[in-house]
Amino acid sequence: MQRISAGPAVRVLLSLLALWGMAWPRLCPAQETTDAIRFGVYPYKSPKSVVEVFGPLAVRIEKRLGKKVQLVSAPDSDTFLKKSQAGEYDLALPAITVYYKIQPAGYTVIAKGVPSFWGGVIVRQDSGIKTIEQCRGKKVAAIGEYSYAGYMFFKDLLDEKKIDSTKDLDIHFLGKLDTIIYGVLNKKYDVGVIRLDTLDMKDFAPIKDQFSIVARSAEIPQFPFVVKSGMDQRTIAAIREVLTSLSPDKPEDLEILKSLQIKKIVGATKADYDPFYEVIKNNDYYKHH
């Protein structure tokens, strides 16, 4: 068999081809499916969980519109923010903090989940901690700096009490609510910062009474459903109709609502989120990210 030896020109050509191949997915996202509606969900859960929770909703919208609905998420909050800002999503469920930032990119609120929720600082009832001041020197578990319910409001409270979060406390960002709750319960952490309605979930109901709430945040509206500017009104109306038609009385709808930790979805506008903007706009993390 004749061996063919590759010359320098060929090698260069192959290298270029390889680089193009690696870059191709980024250069050519799925925009070629122009008919599809891209439904971007803020990565507040693992990608698989996002698909499990929003997959059925996406299928309903797909059936209602007669169009393919491509459910996607992002590896992280920043990527989601960037993609949103880049207008990659036709329909999106951003975190509130993200919503305020992508609003300029032309996203409009069409619906939201109710009721609203609160962030809270929880301790074990036998811990003796009753105030934020008593958190000084304690080991704290929180969701992350990006999460208002899971840290930001706590940071604001610490700032008010002149407590340095980097020195006076030992803060750990765990990202997962159940890890925080069981961590506090098992005395691995002294203080937990969580979204409070989490304790009302079925899994935590039996242990809810073992916690006491030291502080709670302002009322936080649920993540808004937004659509990209330029979407025709008929499509928007159809999507809203699908979202608001979810009823807890229907077993198949109840599953979706439960997974969203809401009772139902109602129509909403920007005005519904303005009050909370006033709360958050001065938060350091929000300001710097």
Q: Which residues bind another protein (CB under 8 A)?
A: 14, 17-18, 20-22, 24-26, 28-30, 32-33, 43, 46-48, 50-52, 55-56, 58, 71-75, 79
Single out the residue of 211, 87, 220, 214 nearest to residue 147, CA to CA: 220
Smallest gap from Cβ 168 to another protein, in A, equals 36
Smallest gap from Cβ 18 to another protein, in A, equals 4
| Residue partners of 67: CB distance under 8 A and separation at least 6 | 35, 36, 37
Smallest gap from Cβ 59 to another protein, in A, equals 8
At position 9, the amino acid (one-letter code) is A
Smallest gap from Cβ 48 to another protein, in A, equals 5
The number of residues making up the chain comes to 289
Nearer to another protein, 17 or 237 (CB): 17
| Residue partners of 55: CB distance under 8 A and separation at least 6 | 71
Nearer to another protein, 32 or 232 (CB): 32
Smallest gap from Cβ 127 to another protein, in A, equals 37
What is the C-alpha separation between 122 and 188, in angstroms, rounded?
A: 13
What is the C-alpha separation between 63 and 198, in angstroms, rounded?
A: 32
Nearer to another protein, 57 or 158 (CB): 57
Smallest gap from Cβ 24 to another protein, in A, equals 4
Q: Where are the alpha helices (DSSP H) in the chain?
A: 8-27, 47-65, 77-85, 96-102, 153-160, 177-185, 233-244, 251-260, 274-280, 284-288
What is the C-alpha separation between 198 and 244, in angstroms, rounded?
A: 23
Nearer to another protein, 89 or 153 (CB): 89
Smallest gap from Cβ 77 to another protein, in A, equals 12
Nearer to another protein, 30 or 213 (CB): 30
Nearer to another protein, 30 or 205 (CB): 30
Nearer to another protein, 50 or 174 (CB): 50
Beta bridge partners of 117: 220
Single out the residue of 148, 194, 140 nearest to residue 171, CA to CA: 140
What is the C-alpha separation between 4 and 155, in angstroms, rounded?
A: 66
